[in-house]
Amino acid sequence: MTQKFDVVVIGAGPGGYVAAIKAAQLGLSTACIEKYTDKEGKLALGGTCLNVGCIPSKALLDSSWKYKEAKEGFAIHGINHAGVTMDVAAMVGRKANIVKGLTSGVATLFKANGVTSLQGHGKLLAGKKVELTKPDGTVEIIEAENVILASGSRPIDIPPAPVDQNVIVDSTGALEFQSVPKRLGVIGAGVIGLELGSVWSRLGSEVVVLEALEKFLPAADDAVSKEAYKTLTKQGLNIKLGARVTGSKVNGDEVVVNYTDANGEQNITFDKLIVAVGRRPVTTELLAADSGVTIDERGFVFVDDQCATSVPGVFAIGDVVRGMMLAHKASEEGIMVVERIKGHKAQINYDLIPSVIYTHPEIAWVGKTEQTLKAEGVEVNVGTFPFAASGRAMAANDTGGFVKVIADAKTDRVLGVHVIGPSAAELVQQGAIGMEFGTSAEDLGMMVFSHPTLSEALHEAALAVNGGAIHIANRKKR
Question: Hey, which residues are catalytic here?
Answer: 451
Q: Which is nearer to ligand FAD, 57 or 291 (CB)?
A: 57
CB neighbours (10 Å) of residue 469? Answer: 22
Q: How far is the CB of 358 from ligand FAD (least distance, A)?
A: 6
Q: Is 321 in the site for ligand AMP (CB under 6 A)?
A: no
Proportion of the chain in helix, strand, coil states, percent, rounded to 5: 35, 25, 40
Q: How far is CA 252 from CA 89, 182, 223, 272, in A?
A: 23, 15, 43, 11
Can you say whether the dihedral through the CA atoms of 291, 293, 295, 301 is positive or negative? negative
Per the rule left: phi > 0, alpha: psi between -120 and 50, beta: everything else, 460 is alpha
Closest CA to 286 of 35, 31, 29, 7: 35
Applying CB under 6 A, among 36, 270, 315, 387 the residue interacting with ligand FAD is: 36
Q: How far is the CB of 18 from ligand FAD (least distance, A)?
A: 8
Amino acid at site 214: E
Nearer to ligand AMP, 298 or 345 (CB): 298
Cβ-based nearer residue to ligand FAD, 287 or 464 = 287
Please give the DSSP secondary-structure letter assigned to residue 413.
Answer: B
Q: Is residue 280 near ligand FAD by the rule CB under 6 A? A: no
What does residue 28 show for φ and ψ, rounded to 5 degrees? -95, 135
Give the strand pairing for 272-275 and 183-187.
Answer: parallel
* Residue of the chain from 7, 9, 33, 257 that contacts ligand FAD (CB under 6 A): 33
53 binds ligand FAD (CB under 6 A): yes
List, in order, residues 6 or more apart from 79 with CB less than 8 Å away. none
Nearer to ligand FAD by Cβ, of 259 and 300: the residue is 300
225 binds, among ligand AMP, ligand FAD, none (CB under 5 to 8 A by kind): none
Task: Please pick, from the candidates 14, 193, 400, 434, the single residue that binds ligand FAD as defined by CB under 6 A.
Answer: 14
Residues 315-344, one symbol each (x = binds ligand FAD by CB under 6 A, - = not), give ---xx-----xxxx-x--------------
Closest approach, Cβ 231 to ligand FAD, in A, equals 19
The nearest distance, CB 277 to ligand FAD, in angstroms, is: 12
When CB distances are held under 5 to 8 angstroms depending on the partner's kind, the choice from ligand AMP, ligand FAD, none that residue 455 binds is none
Q: What is the DSSP string of 274-306?
A: EE-S-EEE--TTTB-TTS---B-TTSPBP--TT
Is residue 242 a contact residue for ligand AMP (CB under 6 A)?
no
Residue among 324 and 388 whose Cβ is closer to ligand AMP: 324
Query: Nearest-CB residue to ligand AMP?
Result: 190
478 burial level (CB within 10 Å; 0-12, 13-18, 19+): exposed
Q: Is the dihedral of CA 285, 174, 158, 48 positive or negative?
A: positive
Among 158, 250, 308, 380, binds ligand AMP (CB under 6 A): 158
Closest approach of Cβ 243 to ligand AMP, in Å? 6
- Quick check: 191 binds ligand AMP (CB under 6 A)? yes
Q: How far is CA 315 from CA 7, 12, 137, 196, 350, in A?
A: 10, 15, 27, 33, 17
Which CB atom, from 248 or from 331, has the smaller least distance to ligand FAD? 331
CB of 53 to ligand AMP, least distance (A): 12
**Cα(253)–Cα(274) distance, rounded to whole angstroms?**
14
Considering only the stretches 101-109, 146-154, 206-214, 250-258, report the one whose residues sit in contact with ligand FAD under the rule CB under 6 A: 146-154
Which stretch in 139-147, 151-159, 307-315, 373-381 sits in contact with ligand FAD by CB under 6 A? 151-159
Per partner kind, with CB cut-offs from 5 to 8 A, the member of ligand FAD, ligand AMP, none near residue 211 is ligand AMP
Q: How far is CA 412 from CA 39, 351, 378, 463, in A?
A: 53, 18, 12, 11
Residues 64 and 91: their CA atoms lie apart, in Å, by 8
To the nearest whole angstrom, how small is the minimum distance from the Cβ of residue 147 to ligand FAD? 12
Q: Would you mind telling me the total number of residues written for the chain in this entry?
A: 478
User: Pick from ligand AMP, ligand FAD, none: which does 316 bind, CB < 5 to 8 A by kind?
Assistant: none
- List the beta strands (DSSP E) in 253-399: 254-261, 264-270, 272-275, 279-281, 314-316, 355-357, 362-367, 380-386
189 within 8 A of 278, measured Cβ to Cβ = no
**What are the C-alpha distances in Å from 262 to residues 212, 213, 238, 240, 259?**
11, 12, 16, 11, 10
Write the Ramachandran bin of 398: left for phi over 0, alpha for psi from -120 to 50, otherwise beta: beta
Nearer to ligand AMP, 23 or 189 (CB): 189
Looking at residues 245 to 284 of the shown chain, list those that interact with ligand AMP (rule: CB under 6 A).
245, 276-278
Residue of the chain from 8, 11, 338, 466 that contacts ligand FAD (CB under 6 A): 11
Q: Interface residues for ligand AMP in 97-156 (CB under 6 A)?
A: none
Among residues 212, 241, 295, 425, the one that binds ligand AMP under rule CB under 6 A: 212
Q: Footprint of ligand FAD on this chain (CB under 6 A)?
A: 10-16, 33-36, 47-49, 53-54, 57, 121-122, 150-153, 171, 192, 282, 286, 318-319, 325-328, 330, 358
Q: Footprint of ligand AMP on this chain (CB under 6 A)?
A: 158, 160, 187-192, 210-213, 244-245, 276-278
